[in-house]
Structure 1
């Protein structure tokens, strides 16, 4: 019965082939007939036209007087023409009708075949593809659950379980191979399921029951892997590779007994990944590669974060991450190099992720080991050597497009660049990202590869975020370090300089007109990038030095700690020189004034940027207000400390406690002068002249008030905040009135009036409450005289002021 059925199937196949050939021959015959008919129609047309012209010539006579022949010819001619047209129409009708009939017949056949096709396609997909995949998945799960149940209830002996499992896998494999000729897709699903079962059984036999030795277990797994590779390539089906190889990743976790045999797990994963590597030499199945890549590194990272122990896993972890890195590196390159295909952005990202995960894990493993932390620099250099070997092979053999060569050669440069800093300190992450950013930008811009340039902007952002994290970690380096570290000459500052140099190089390339930006010269995003990169350079430069100043004073504060049990002074316990905090705040603001003043000076002399002019003016104004609000307060605290001589037994309170104010005044004066120079430019002057003059007079009055209080405190006067300030403000208001009238500037006179109003409010609300009679008299008389003078000036120059207002 089986042989007859087989013959019937063969005959049906032969009939189908003949029918297809018949349909093909019939369509060819139809086309030939149509072509012949067309040629015949054209010939008939030409003959008819020729006869008609001949007959028409016969009907024409030279004499209009002979009427009889003309009538005869007129009677004869129409029938000939009519017959000719009739014949033409009959021929056309017959040929067109035949063509229409054939066309309608073809449409009928097509429509008949198409009507059930959509339904058949859906049914075919469900019946031939979806159901068998679901079925094999359920089968494998069923085998797993059945095995687990038999294990938990001890229904059969371990040896019997393993033998039955192998028999089930071999039977399913044999049945799948037998069906390959007729049902290839179905056969592929069965074969892949059989491979997964064989992996499952082998792992169980070794890991749970110890029925086979380790060597034999891995030999069997290697055999299954080789068979999976051959089957996947032979069937040309990713499903075999997915179920047979990547699906095998789940087995150790489904059957784990918590024994923690990491070496076995990683060896198992390595075998699977090597199988995928072999496949990649023939096929470029992206989903397969992505799945394996993601699962492997995810398992390793989770294990490292939760279960890694330096004493127990150091050598094992280092060995297997190297195997995984090399395997995926080769898998990534294999197919692309053989086919000489170009690399897209997803390929670049995968290569970089593979390199960075390997380096990051390797660095973490080594840095936690007592001996390994001395080898971090060597490990970094080894990464450079690996990439160098690959780049040399690619270059000499000309195995790929130049973009890949540039990328890998750039990785060599990156790892060589950071080898020394990595050996010295842990700022390697920032250095790595920064070096990678300039490498990608250089390749993208100079070699005109937009994808590299766009990717470099992402890496720049990551490098900047990493640098911010380093700023947070730098406090530990200074504040809590037992060793004295040199400011400026330390690894943190070198990192900042490196990042500044990287962004400076990117800025230089960005301004080179020989190279076209990835987003185009007139694109808004290119304009933003052109602004953002120099802004980052300025910001990082400012923060780098500011952080050094801040951390230096923090360290000085920590080093000032002393212990005392002095009964005579009642100072017990630990003490610190908290005046250092005031010095720290003052010097940070002094540095800020100097930094932004230098920036403004460079812009005036060399850069000459409108946007930078406004930015520098804003920053200098901000720092001036920072000085007025914060520095002057800290300066007053130092004066109080100097006058009280608190803890002077332990910390000398010298003249610099009161002299530092004049150093700060010099920096403020320089900043105000550069603000003045900046607003004198043509495109700024009319907009900011008034705001600058207001800022100038506010700063002068504020500093003058501080200086008055300073010297009155030194002179031990008790009226500095009342008597002295009120008179000073009144005098300054008078000066503003005089200056406003002289320079014809109304806003100065308004400022004077506002200042006088504040002074009077202060006088009545605060001053007179605690002043004695003499002081009250002096204040009232002084302010009254000043008001009279101001009133006199207004009256004397009222015409000038009126004319100024009219103008």
Structure 2
């Protein structure tokens, strides 16, 4: 134990010694810095002052008076080192400037100037040739021979300089290729010195040489000028020859050359240039020179050739180098595939036989991408994302093939099932690409289902139809669609989100979007069937009536009854949704949505619903259609069936707003809405039964009295239950009743009726006043609370 303590003391003593030395070093450093700063201020004439600023010798503190660590630290923090910093910063800046200057000089002197020079040289040759032609200085043959000598001479000179000046040599070789292309074109187009086959052969040789030179030099400039620049000449040749097959054959050869280069190098700019030029030339020819009868086969063949060459060009280097694909690669692959499909679809759709093969053509695209995906997967030639991308192309074209070859409900079902399958693979197997591909398919399936509904339920409305309600293909399609989206929702809720997707908005969106689509589809699937059933009955009630002219009559009671049953269904659906949500999901968002939908359904009932019920009542009373149709007591009974559905919805809403998961205080608004509905229905019932007994005018008097009595009831409830808002509602209702009395009722009432209504309302007001006076202390306590 004693040895342990001695060791601690020894180490503390060493630490104190080091700290004392550190203080001395710090003071020496600061003294030197101050001397340097003073010398800088004095300038070169500092000999006289040298002694004056000579630092005093530093005396170290004895070991027995150590300096605390905190003081040393504070001293260094208070006196930061600044004297040496400017000198250390100046040198790197000078070095950087020199390096930057050198880089710019290297770029301009070794790269930019020679490229400008070769462009000017080529232009000079062109200008000289043009001048000689215009002034007829030399014969055409001589011009061509001299042009070839100039091109070949520049080519030889460039090759000779390759060993010492490779970049410069590559520029000269590319310029020589451009001159040779131009001279060959001139010999064919201007002077007819070469036949077309010979011109084609010469340019083939130049193209092959361009490929070899580009690979040998490993320079893109040769490939750009020698290959991409070659597109212009055969395009012009095809205009003279009138043979698009020659044009496209030559372009195919150039693209094959680029394919060969892409196997060795992946020069994106070269690939981009050839891709854009090829498809622009093909599109221009299709737009301006294509002949339906003469060029169909040629266009279809070379369309496939270009597509396959570019497809292979894209994949060959990626597969060889196992390089991961980027966004630009995805764009090119998709663009190439859809350009091919778009042109092919357009060509086939204009052909009588081709129209029948559109689905096969689309399926061919899917099979082609499937074969490529299998090869990539079996041989493990590239990263998994490239495999998934190509596999996604298979699914895309299978998706397109569905509406192309099929029609009607099959399209909806296949898209829905395909979306479910892709979503399951993407979520369960953690393949993000598949999950993202399922999203547009879901949207397509939804719009396809809407189109099916429109065609089945609305387009042929009123026409002869053999479709039976409920037992029909459209309704069964809706049920299967619900099954597919129910499966997607189950997968979305049970499969955990992967880490790489937690930061995206898609999981959150799908959590709400998928069940929303499912519920909306469920509602409208049954709603449309009910509507179709009653529409079928309505149009089936057609009767031809001949008066001065013939016209058709329909049973309007059927239309009103159908509207009431649609309302009843809506009330029942929302009530069931509320009760189900209370039991199991207990989802607040769903609860708020169903609460809003329930309030809207109640508003529809109070306005449109009660109006339709009154129309049925009037039809029952007046028997206006009894000559043609039977009008029974059900016109009255259906009124109370609807009231039962309204009561069910109100009960479900009341239970919903009291649930803890709703987290809202909707009790007061709900109670006010409840009293408004009760008063509204009671007023409707008063009018209903007065009409049933044959009174059509006195209901105005009855409504005023009813409203006054209900206002009194609200006051009593407000006092009894200590609810101030009910008393306020009662005052508003009494105010509306008085306004109705003085501005509406008086004008149409006789003296007796006026006496009754005034006395009744006066008595009610007195009763209310009495209640307020009797329970004023209770009301005062309620307001204080």
C-alpha distance in 2 between matches for 1:214 and 1:320: 20
CA shift in 2, pair 1:121/1:722, >3 Å: same
Q: Which SS does the other structure have where 1:518 is aligned?
A: helix
Q: Which of the residues 649, 670, 679 maps onto 1:701?
A: 679
**Residue 628 (1) aligns with residue 610 (2):** no
- Once the two structures are superposed, what CA deviation does each residue of 1:515-568 show, in whole Å capped at 9, x if it has no partner? 524243xx5847733544436534763686499569969997998999989553
Q: Which of the residues 528, 538, 557 maps onto 2:508?
A: 528
Q: Which SS does the other structure have where 1:331 is aligned?
A: helix
Q: Which of the residues 401, 406, 431 maps onto 2:383?
A: 401
Which residue in the other structure is 1:332 paired with? 314
Which residue in the other structure is 2:668 paired with? 690
**Residue 537 (1) aligns with residue 517 (2):** yes
Q: Which SS does the other structure have where 1:511 is aligned?
A: helix
C-alpha distance in 2 between matches for 1:802 and 1:280: 92
Q: Which of the residues 590, 602, 618 maps onto 1:612?
A: 590
Q: Offset at 1:492?
A: 8.3
C-alpha distance in 1 between matches for 2:134 and 2:625: 77
C-alpha distance in 1 between matches for 2:725 and 2:297: 77
Which residue in the other structure is 1:671 paired with? 649
C-alpha distance in 1 between matches for 2:396 and 2:306: 21
Which residue in the other structure is 1:464 paired with? 443
CA contact (8 A) 1:411 1:436 kept: no
Which residue in the other structure is 2:214 paired with? 232
CA shift in 2, pair 1:564/1:336, >3 Å: same
Which residue in the other structure is 1:377 paired with? 359
Q: Which of the residues 239, 251, 262 maps onto 1:280?
A: 262
Which residue in the other structure is 1:760 paired with? 738
Q: Offset at 1:751?
A: 1.9
CA contact (8 A) 1:553 1:580 kept: no
C-alpha distance in 2 between matches for 1:490 and 1:154: 84
CA shift in 2, pair 1:295/1:660, >3 Å: farther
CA contact (8 A) 2:415 2:442 kept: yes
Q: Offset at 1:334?
A: 1.0
Q: Offset at 1:692?
A: 1.9
C-alpha distance in 2 between matches for 1:264 and 1:771: 99
CA contact (8 A) 2:363 2:397 kept: yes
CA shift in 2, pair 1:627/1:565, >3 Å: closer
Q: Which SS does the other structure have where 2:325 is aligned?
A: coil
CA shift in 2, pair 1:147/1:132, >3 Å: same
C-alpha distance in 2 between matches for 1:305 and 1:734: 82
Q: Offset at 1:681?
A: 0.9
C-alpha distance in 1 between matches for 2:308 and 2:569: 50
State the TM-score, normalizing by the size of structure 1: 0.68
CA contact (8 A) 2:348 2:354 kept: yes
Q: Which SS does the other structure have where 2:356 is aligned?
A: helix
- Once the two structures are superposed, what CA deviation does each residue of 1:292-331 show, in whole Å capped at 9, x if it has no partner? 4455556667877899887776555544443333333222
**Residue 388 (1) aligns with residue 370 (2):** yes
Q: Offset at 1:617?
A: 1.8
- Once the two structures are superposed, what CA deviation does each residue of 1:128-147 show, in whole Å capped at 9, x if it has no partner? 32344445556667888999
- Give runs of aligned pairs for residues 315-326 of structure 1, distance below 5 A: 315-326=297-308
C-alpha distance in 2 between matches for 1:341 and 1:154: 57
C-alpha distance in 2 between matches for 1:115 and 1:284: 34
CA contact (8 A) 1:638 1:657 kept: yes
C-alpha distance in 2 between matches for 1:148 and 1:479: 71
Which residue in the other structure is 2:9 paired with? none
C-alpha distance in 2 between matches for 1:298 and 1:742: 85
**Residue 425 (1) aligns with residue 404 (2):** no
Q: Which of the residues 221, 225, 228 maps onto 1:243?
A: 225
Which residue in the other structure is 1:91 paired with? none
Which runs of 5 or more residues in structure 1 are unaligned?
A: 1-108
CA shift in 2, pair 1:544/1:243, >3 Å: farther
Q: Which of the residues 303, 325, 328 maps onto 1:343?
A: 325
CA shift in 2, pair 1:446/1:738, >3 Å: same
Q: Offset at 1:355?
A: 3.7
- Once the two structures are superposed, what CA deviation does each residue of 1:63-120 show, in whole Å capped at 9, x if it has no partner? xxxxxxxxxxxxxxxxxxxxxxxxxxxxxxxxxxxxxxxxxxxxxx999998765444
**Residue 727 (1) aligns with residue 705 (2):** yes
With 786-795 and 674-683 compared, the bigger mean Cα shift is at 786-795
Q: Offset at 1:793?
A: 4.1
CA shift in 2, pair 1:290/1:802, >3 Å: same
- Once the two structures are superposed, what CA deviation does each residue of 1:401-452 show, in whole Å capped at 9, x if it has no partner? 33333443444455446644542238999999978877776666555566x4
CA shift in 2, pair 1:677/1:685, >3 Å: farther
Count of aligned residue pairs for this structure pair: 693
CA contact (8 A) 1:189 1:239 kept: yes
CA contact (8 A) 1:206 1:217 kept: yes
Which residue in the other structure is 1:63 paired with? none
Report the RMSD for the aligned CA atoms in angstroms: 5.5
Q: Offset at 1:585?
A: 7.1
Q: Offset at 1:507?
A: 4.3
With 178-187 and 326-335 compared, the bigger mean Cα shift is at 178-187
CA shift in 2, pair 1:679/1:555, >3 Å: closer
Which residue in the other structure is 1:746 paired with? 724
C-alpha distance in 2 between matches for 1:153 and 1:713: 109
State the TM-score, normalizing by the size of structure 2: 0.69
CA contact (8 A) 1:737 1:748 kept: yes
CA shift in 2, pair 1:440/1:344, >3 Å: farther
CA shift in 2, pair 1:431/1:542, >3 Å: closer
